[in-house]
Amino acid sequence: MNRHELPGSLADEVHRELGRLGPRVGSGSLADLVTLWPSAVGPVIAANAWPARQGRDGTVIVHVSSSTWAQELTQLEATIRERLGELAPERLRFTVGQVPERGRESAPTLERSSHGPTELERGKAREIALAIENPALREAVARAAALSLARSVSRGLDRPV
């Protein structure tokens, strides 16, 4: 490269560097897998799990934010590999490690309802949970449903239940 030339796009440079790191994943490179990862696994998983490197045996090591994520995603490995399609490695291994930090704009936010559930919303919620036999679980589901109904009304998503 001539010293007056600008390097290619950042994505091209990252892609090139990741391609140097080892064997290919599935029918693509680790860079291809990293590019596809967020759309294949969704924003919540992508914020807590990220392909970090590839082992000599072709296993892709995925860093996760906690041991809970590691356990959960290990159970979902087949589903994740299916979503990755042709780029899926033979095996994914989830281990606690550094996950790229996302900006605030990409993190899902929870909004508080401006008001608590009304008596009508609590009644609808009790109806929803009525079939649950376990009293503690029934009460927990009813509370969660009432809060969800209140939240949908405060966000203008009022729909018949």
Cα–Cα distances (Å) from 87 to 13, 76, 103, in that order, read 20, 17, 27
Q: What is the DSSP string of the chain?
A: --TTSPP--HHHHHHHHHHTTSSPBTTB-HHHHHHHHHHHH-HHHHHHEEEEEE-TTSPEEEEESSHHHHHHHHHTHHHHHHHHGGG--S-EEEEE---PPPPGGGS---PPPSS---HHHHHHHHHHHTT--SHHHHHHHHHHHHHHHHHHHHTT-----
User: Is 143 part of a structural domain of the chain?
Assistant: yes
Quote the pLDDT of residue 113: 43
Helix, strand counts (H, E) of the chain: 7, 3
Instruction: Give tens-digit pLDDT for 27-71.
Output: 567 888 999 999 999 999 999 999 999 888 889 999 999 999 999
Domain span holding position 147: 109-161
Task: State how far the Cα of 34 lies from the Cα of 40, in Å rounded to an integer.
Answer: 10
The reply to whether 28 and 93 lie within a common domain is: yes
Task: State how far the Cα of 118 lies from the Cα of 154, in Å rounded to an integer.
Answer: 11
User: Is 75 part of a structural domain of the chain?
Assistant: yes
Instruction: Give tens-digit pLDDT for 109-133.
Output: 444 445 688 999 999 989 998 988 8
The reply to whether 96 and 118 lie within a common domain is: no
Indicate which CATH number applies to the domain containing 52.
3.30.300
The reply to whether 86 and 149 lie within a common domain is: no
Reported as a pLDDT band with limits 50, 70 and 90, residue 160 is: very low
Instruction: Give tens-digit pLDDT for 77-115.
Output: 999 999 999 999 999 999 999 998 865 444 444 444 456
Indicate if the pLDDT at residue 161 is higher than 70.
no
The reply to whether 92 and 37 lie within a common domain is: yes
Mean predicted confidence (pLDDT) in 144-149: 85
